[in-house]
Structure 1
Amino acid sequence: MGRAEQVLAAAEQQCKQAGARLTDKRKQVLLALLHSNKALSAYEIADVCRELQGQTIPVMSVYRMLEFLEQEHLIHKLQLANKYVACAHICCKHKHGIPQFLICQRCGEVKELGADAAVVESLQRNIEAAGYHLASPQLELNCVCQSCLTGD
């Protein structure tokens, strides 16, 4: 069983335990994200589904499927880019931390890490001291990946 198949099996089990159903079309959308190392828009996901599986899925349907997958904690929406990535921790048995996304500003590759709670708490204190309220602790950081940095 390949990595994508393992993740799909874990995602299906996670949905079943939550009383939800991971339909074939939802699997196709998740699979499109699993095959990409970059964040994808709903339009790009529809294109990938058409290319990989020969399935035409209307973009409005893709948005509904993305909403479901996000509610089930199988994907993340990158707010700044308005694009989506598969959760890197679907197969993990541990509790997920606060997502921190490293986004290469050159090639668009995205890496998900768990942010240290102390860092987020420090940011929260600074935000509140400035008179603001933190709407989401998710961190999205513009970076340059090692491949782009070294020209590999």
Structure 2
Amino acid sequence: MRNLEQVLAHAENHCENNGSRLTIKRKQVLTGLLISDKALSAYELIDFCKGEFGETLQPMSMYRILDFLNNQDLVHKLNLANKYVACEYINCNHEHLVSQFLICVECQSVKEINISKTVMTELQRNVLQVGFHLVRPQLEMNCICDACITSQA
């Protein structure tokens, strides 16, 4: 389990080092993603901010906040689920490898793992061979987690 205050302080420093600010609303949204045990949609985050902080955010504002957090590499957008998760490696200071997201189709839990450089090199080569250029090398896979498999048995 992550130390919430430590992670938020790290995120704040990260933003300052990149010439931007982690405003109160951005911090509230990031908090929602950090404490959640699953991926959340923009509307679920709007509900979280209203219930937890009494803050009413409009959908357009929420999407702008999520875009900011995504551009700062603090959160990831999961395109398959159209939801967001906090970066698993938000508290480290090294360059991140390419992420692969395992998304449970039953409970929506998400696990972020890194893809090895050799696998990414091969994927990049395959993409280029068919005349495409990789824009955002993020892989997402629909899966079923162990907990959901066990509960189905």
Q: TM-score, normalised by structure 2?
A: 0.91
Distance 1:151 1:80 in 2: 24
Distance 1:54 1:91 in 2: 27
Q: How does 1:1-152 map to 2 (within 5 A)?
A: 3-151=3-151
Distance 2:64 2:136 in 1: 22
Amino acid at match of 1:117: K
Q: CA RMSD in A?
A: 1.6
Distance 1:16 1:135, change over 3 A: closer
Q: Deviations over 1:59-88 (max 9, x none)?
A: 111111111111111111112222111111
Q: TM-score, normalised by structure 1?
A: 0.91
Identity within the alignment, %: 54
Distance 1:136 1:61 in 2: 24
Give the paired residue count.
151
**Where do 5+ consecutive residues of structure 1 fail to align?**
none
Distance 2:72 2:112 in 1: 17
SS in 1 for 2:132: coil
Distance 2:114 2:14 in 1: 20
